[in-house]
Amino acid sequence: MTREQRIDKLSVIMVTKLGLTQLPTLEELHRLNEDLRIDSVMMMQLLVWIEVEFGLGIPEEEVDPRVFHTVGTLLDFMDRLTPVGPVGITKELRK
Digit-coded pLDDT (tens) for 7-59: 999 999 999 999 998 888 899 999 999 999 999 999 999 999 999 999 998 88
Structural domain range at position 16: 3-94
| 70 bridge partner residues | 31
pTM, two decimal places: 0.82
Strands (DSSP E) found in the chain: 56-57, 82-83
Based on the structure, what is the number of domains in the chain? 1
Whether 91 has a pLDDT exceeding 50, the answer reads no
Contact status, residue 28 vs residue 72, Cβ threshold 8 Å: yes
Q: Which helix (H) or strand (E) holds 95?
A: none
Whether 83 has a pLDDT exceeding 80, the answer reads yes
CATH number where 10 lies? 1.10.1200.10
> How many CB atoms are located within 10 Å of the residue 74 CB?
23
Residue 61 pLDDT grade (very low, low, confident, very high; cuts 50, 70, 90): confident
Phi, psi angle pair for 67, to nearest 5°: -65, -30
